[in-house]
Amino acid sequence: MASDGGTCVYLSERQSEIVDLAKAKGRVLVDELATHFDITPQTIRMDLNSLCNGRVLVRFHGGAIYPDGKENVEYEARRQIAADEKRKIGLATAQIIPNNASLFINIGTTTEAVGQALTNHTGLMVVTNNINVANSLRLYPSIEVAIAGGVVRRSDGGIVGEAAVDFINQFKVDYAVIGASAIDLDGFLLDYDFREVKVAQAIIENARHVILVADSTKYERRASVKLGKLTQVDTFVTDRVKDPAIRNICNDGDVNVIEIDTPDY
């Protein structure tokens, strides 16, 4: 489901395939899609209009493009991007975290998938600056939740700013689960909001084991604020590592890489 100003857009199987094609090619054309699906151009235009209204794609005359990452995609629309990969990443990450552990969970749709996968754990202490994570995990009596104070972003329920940093700095936890808006081929983890980055950096500094969760679309995006480096991460959970440069950085930095697009997952 994607939303635009309160209007909900439910993605059909065909619309999901259109998004996958746009991700792979960068753009899709009405006539090509009509031929591919053996339906009328008018039906394709309706699909594209729905996807663009939900900010999943960006419309242009004759087709649509996949967002190039220079501006952040609306949060609800981002939930639909690589949704199955995020779910599997969440499950794989939950297997790393034992019962009776303490952990940070940062802002992001993939970190939220980790939170959802942790609901069968017991004795967890979860510290988060993500309202969505706190709201879902508070329902489970075997999980204690502590939420940061600070400025709440309307777009995604993330809590950012100096107050959130001060709150995080009070803790030393076993694990940190962090995301990134983009991963550069030089190994830098990038984001869009410097306020969010300050909180993420505090989370990294105050965890014994840092887990980065990010699907492979993050290699294709661009963001301008440095969050940190892959070499600061202990475990990287992703669907697949696309570029040899990223794999080499992980190998050289002794980063444990878990790829869910393998027979084990």
Extents of the domains making up the chain: 2-78, 82-259
Task: Determine the average pLDDT of the residues in 237-244.
Answer: 93
Pull the structure tokens for residue 85.
């990969």
User: pLDDT over 70 for what percent of the chain?
Assistant: 89
Hey, CA dihedral for 152, 156, 161, 163, is it positive or negative? Answer: positive
Q: What is the CATH number of domain 82-259?
A: 3.40.50.1360
| Residue 166 predicted with pLDDT over 70 | yes
Dihedral sign from CA coordinates of 109, 236, 189, 200? positive
Confidence of residue 2 (pLDDT cuts 50, 70, 90): very low
pLDDT at 57: 84
Q: Which of the pair, 78 or 200, is modelled with greater confidence? A: 200
Cβ atoms of 192 and 223 within 8 Å: the answer is yes
Summarize pLDDT for 19-75 with one digit per residue, the tens: 888 887 778 899 999 999 999 999 999 999 888 887 788 787 788 887 655 444 566
Lowest mean pLDDT among 137-146, 212-221, 256-265: 256-265
Comparing 2-78 with 82-259, is the CATH topology the same? no
Q: Judge residue 250's burial from the number of C-beta atoms within 10 Å of its C-beta, 0-12 exposed, 13-18 middle, 19 or more buried.
A: buried
Pick the closest to residue 183 from 132, 240, 127, 221 (CA basis): 221
- Does 174 or 57 have the greater pLDDT score? 174
Of the candidates 159, 183, 155, 184, the one whose C-alpha atom is nearest the C-alpha of residue 104 is 159
- Indicate the CATH number of 2-78 among 3.40.50.720, 3.10.20.30, 1.10.10.10, 1.10.1040.10: 1.10.10.10
Q: Is the pLDDT of residue 207 over 60?
A: yes
Q: Average pLDDT over the chain, rounded to whole?
A: 88
Which residues lie closer than 8 Å to 159 by C-beta, 6 or more apart?
A: 107, 129, 130, 131, 147, 148, 149, 150, 151, 152, 153, 199
Which pLDDT score is estimated for 6? 41
> Radius of gyration over alpha carbons of the chain, in Å?
19
**Helix segments in 7-138, DSSP class H:** 13-25, 30-37, 41-53, 75-80, 83-96, 109-117, 131-137
The pLDDT score that the predictor gives to residue 167 is 97
pTM, two decimal places: 0.73
**pLDDT tens track for 103-148:** 999 999 999 999 999 999 999 999 999 999 999 999 999 999 999 9
pLDDT value, residue 265? 52
